[in-house]
Amino acid sequence: MDLVIRPAAPGEYGILGEITAQAYLQDGLLDFGQDDPYLGALRDVAGRAAAAEVLVAVADDAVAGGVAFVPSGGAMADIAGPGEAEIRMLAVARAARGRGAGEALVRACLERARATEGCVRVVLSTQPTMHAAHRLYERLGFVRTPQRDWNPLPELDDISLLTYALAL
C-alpha cells in the first residue's frame, strides 16, 4: 500500500472523524458505546485541528487514518509537560489496518517532534486493551511510564490510561 502522510484538509475532517469514532466503537474502547460523551470529541477533527496538527494517512486516494500531533505546550495536551510533544487519537480504518498506516503516522509525529525546538520527549496515553498499538509503540522505542498512568474520569474508578514515552 502506497501511503502519503500529510496535514488533513478541512474537507477530510468528517471522514477522519468517522474513522476515529468507528475505530473506538468497533474495538469496544468506549465504555458507554454510542452514548459515550467522548464520541463527540473523536468526531471533532475541526476542533483538534484548531489546537493541534492533524495528520492523515492517505492510501489509494482515500483517508486511511489519522492522528493529532500536539507540540510542547499545546492546548490539547493531556499529559505532556515542558519539552514534551504528545500524540493523540491515533486511528486507522479497519480496512487499512496491518498495512503500515499507524506506524507511518507515529513516525511522522516523531519527525515533527524532532524538528520542534526544545522538544526532548514524545508521550502518549493508550487504553489497556489496545495491544496492537502497544506493540507498535514498543517497536518504535517507546517505553511504558506507569508513574504517569492516569484516569480521565476520576469519578469512574475503572477507567485508566497507560502512558508511554520516547526520549528523542
Tell if the pTM clears 0.85, that is, is over it: yes
Residue 90's nearest CA partner among 42, 161, 28, 40 is 42
| Res 110: pLDDT | 98
8 Å CB contact between 41 and 50: no
pLDDT at residue 103 above 70?
Answer: yes
Domain with 98 in it = 3-167
C-alpha span between 17 and 43 (Å, rounded): 4
CATH number at residue 74: 3.40.630.30
The number of folded domains in the chain is: 1
User: Hey, CA dihedral for 9, 11, 17, 18, is it positive or negative?
Assistant: negative
* Model pLDDT for residues 35-57, shown as the tens digit of each residue: 988 999 999 999 999 999 999 99
| Res 155: pLDDT | 65
138 pLDDT tier (thresholds 50, 70, 90): very high
